């Protein structure tokens, strides 16, 4: 943690410690000693909202993982008329951090009347909402492998992919953020019944920063 000032800590239901840290102008949410989200790079978090956007009036968007709110902000900015965004966040303290310290980073998405918040596990919400969503934006780990929580592994296994496919309305799409290339995950998406796409996107703007990957599954 050299160079970081610890601002607060919280635990996930599995007992993993999340920490909110400051390093100069940078704010970072860390897990397992690794940066989970930082305000230094958030281009790909916004791009995933564009890649899975549904232009339908009244579109319903689900964002899994609030983090620092960049994906939620992009989903709101791209929302068609009459649409709504539901953000599902596992850790209540992350919501508090957004209300108190982080909200300004992405223009206070939690204050937007088109957004509603669910505190809980996005895997459970997906299971309980068949046919509900036009776009599902999942950024709860470092990629399509459990990282924040062991329990998240089910989201990326074939059973979880089937649940996610069923949670989409016809013509909808799901996007998964990843810090690494994972061709096997793209094949798994296809085997689960999605039209799978791999997008390599820059972390900062159009052509700056390291590469990230967004896996899109169209229902």
Ligand X SMILES: C[S@@+](CC[C@H](N)C(=O)[O-])C[C@H]1O[C@@H](n2cnc3c(N)ncnc32)[C@H](O)[C@@H]1O
Residue ranges that bind ligand X, judged by CB under 6 A = 36-37, 42, 45, 64-71, 88-91, 94, 121-123, 139-140, 148-149, 152
What is the rounded CA–CA span in Å between residue 60 and residue 133? 5
94: nearest Cα among 112, 69, 75, 70: 69
Q: Which is nearer to ligand X, 149 or 182 (CB)?
A: 149
CA atoms within 13 A on the CB side of 171: 6
Shortest-Cβ-distance residue relative to ligand X: 67
Angstrom distances, CA of residue 167 to CA of 94, 119, 142, 206: 25, 18, 22, 31
What is the closest distance, in whole angstroms, from the C-beta atom of residue 151 to ligand X in the complex? 7
Task: Provide the minimum distance between the beta carbon of 168 and ligand X in the complex, in angstroms, as a whole number.
Answer: 17
Residue closer to ligand X by CB (options 6, 58) is 6
DSSP 154: H
82 versus 128: smaller Cβ distance to ligand X: 128
**110 versus 189: smaller Cβ distance to ligand X:** 110
C-alpha closest to that of 12 among 86, 79, 89, 85: 89
Nearest-approach distance from CB 131 to ligand X, in angstroms: 20
């Amino acid at each position: 943690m050299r160079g970081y000032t610890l601002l607060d800590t919280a635990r996930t239901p599995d007992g993993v410690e999340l920490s909110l840290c400051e390093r100069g102008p940078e704010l970072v949410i860390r897990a397992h000693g690794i940066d989970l989200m930082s305000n230094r790079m958030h281009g790909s978090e916004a791009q995933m909202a564009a890649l899975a956007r549904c232009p339908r009036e009244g579109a319903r968007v689900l964002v899994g993982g609030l983090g620092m709110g960049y994906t939620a902000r992009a989903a709101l900015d791209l929302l068609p008329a009459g649409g709504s965004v539901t953000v599902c966040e596992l850790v209540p303290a992350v919501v508090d951090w957004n209300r108190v310290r982080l909200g300004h980073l992405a223009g206070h998405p939690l204050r937007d009347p088109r957004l509603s918040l669910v505190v809980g596990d996005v895997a459970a919400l997906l299971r309980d909402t068949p046919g509900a969503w036009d776009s599902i934006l999942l950024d709860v780990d470092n990629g399509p492998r459990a990282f924040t929580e062991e329990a998240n592994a089910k989201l990326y296994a074939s059973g979880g992919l089937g649940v996610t496919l069923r949670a989409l309305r016809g013509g909808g799409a799901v996007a998964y953020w990843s810090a690494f290339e994972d061709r096997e995950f793209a094949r798994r998406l296809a085997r689960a019944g999605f039209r799978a796409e791999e997008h390599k996107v820059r972390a900062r703007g159009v052509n700056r920063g390291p590469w990230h990957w967004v896996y899109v599954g169209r229902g």
